Amino acid sequence: MRPLRDIAVVAFGQTDHRRTSDELSEVEMLLPVLHEVLDRTGLQTGDIGFTCSGSSDYLAGRAFSFTMALDGVGAWPPISESHVEMDGAWALYEAWTKLLTGDADTALVYAYGKSSPGSVRDVLTRQLDPYYMAPLWPDSVALAALQARALIDAGETDELALASVAARSRASATANSHAQLRGPVPQGDYLVRPLRTGDCPPIGDGAAAVILAAGDRARELCERPAWIRGIDHRIEAHSLGVRDLTDSPSTRLAAERAGAFERPVDTAELHAPFTSQEVVLRKALRLDDSVRVNPSGGALAANPVMAAGLIRIGEAAARVHRGESDRALAHATSGPCLQQNLVAVLEGDAR
């Protein structure tokens, strides 16, 4: 379905992602990124029609932590604002629907996550079902490892192929000054077998921001807007034992609804924190070797939890802005073993 209004990503900014950022509060980490996207468009905080953010109290260890970050967007006098306790890609989805309604012509979307204060493997267990799974404390690496084993048993990959996904991602990241892991990174020891440290994302802190604009406003703010041709998100059963872990039907359906299969894409930014998840996503999205996958290095190079999905949309859009892509796919995920998936298709005007 064609959107009711043309809406584009007109600016993208992100922090350098690092293992720790003790010296910065969340708002201190976020502010430079907010100013980067505002400066890029010439907008002031007061010009923004709608603001939406993604973050998690469980990372911060504090209730309503996002309210502190609001200091960075000039929230007084009162602004039109919303927050999702999820990756910022879902905040972008909310902002996109807000712009579709015509209530606003511009939107600021930001997301941030500091994994350094806690243990993100343990923190993420708290998003699991509280009756059957959470009391066992299965950490995020363990759940990804179950999926990796299922793929290996199904003959869809092996440990060598997974290592090559990691190597390719981190080689691509050498061109990304914001990435946390770049260049040759040892594949390392098993963390939870069959996944080695090299198959897993770095743990780190970071933030990202995007500005969306509708129609002519987008053309005023950006030389080559990245038009969102379609965006959709789908979910599958939370329980891992109900799902076929070697496939991602929710990604496929979201991609179909976003129009991803109507014409080939030249670039795909996939939110695959674990090497094995890229195998699943490539299959679900029918990506062949003609598509440049994760030129930024992807989540294997930098994985600020709650921002990494928004960064995929931002990276895809930035390639359109720079004229390096004409039609790009961006994907974000949330939940254990690719439970929830969002797909966006971005296009630049014909050149």
Partner 1 sequence: MPEVLKAPLVVEFPFTRSLGPVQSAFLTGLREGVVLGVRAADGRTLVPPVEYDPVTAEEIRDLVEVAPTGTVTTWAWNHEPRRGQPLDTPFAWVLVRLDGADTALLHALDAPGPDAVRTGMRVRIRWAPERSGAITDIACFEPFDGAAGGRPTGHDGRFDDMVTGIVAPARLDYVYSPGRAQSAYIASLSERRTVGERCPSCRKVYVPSRGACPTCGVATSEPVEVGPRGTVTTYCIVNIKAKNLDIEVPYVYAHIALDGAGLALHGRIGGIPYDEVRMGLRVEPVWSEGGRYPDHYRPTGEPDADYETYKEML
> Which residue, 204, 153, 171, 158, is CA-closest to 29?
204
Establish if 49 lies at the interface with partner 1 (CB under 8 A). no
For partner 1 (CB under 8 A), the number of binding residues is 61
Establish if 240 lies at the interface with partner 1 (CB under 8 A). yes
Rounded to whole angstroms, the Cα distance separating 13 from 37 reads: 6
Q: Which is nearer to partner 1, 227 or 274 (CB)?
A: 274
Q: Which of 42, 80, 103, 126 binds partner 1 (CB under 8 A)?
A: 126
Rounded to whole angstroms, the Cα distance separating 201 from 121 reads: 11
Contacting partner 1 within 145-164 (CB under 8 A) = 145-150, 153
* Cβ atoms within 10 Å of 344's Cβ, excluding its own: 31
Residue 337 is classified by DSSP as T
- Give least dist CB 25 to partner 1, A: 3
Establish if 42 lies at the interface with partner 1 (CB under 8 A). no
Which residues 6+ apart lie within 8 Å of 36 measured at CB?
Answer: 11, 13, 209
Q: Which of the ranges 27-35, 90-98, 258-266, 302-310 carries the binding residues for partner 1, by CB under 8 A? A: 27-35
Could you tell me if residue 102 is left (phi over 0), alpha (psi between -120 and 50 degrees) or otherwise beta?
left
Residue 18 is classified by DSSP as B
Peptide bond into 77 cis (omega under 30): yes
- Give least dist CB 62 to partner 1, A: 8
Contacting partner 1 within 65-124 (CB under 8 A) = 68, 70-77, 116-119, 121-123
Contacting partner 1 within 218-237 (CB under 8 A) = 237
Q: Give the interface with partner 1 as residue ranges (CB under 8 A).
A: 22-28, 31, 34-35, 45, 58, 61, 68, 70-77, 116-119, 121-123, 125-126, 130-139, 142-143, 145-150, 153, 190, 192-195, 237, 239-242, 245
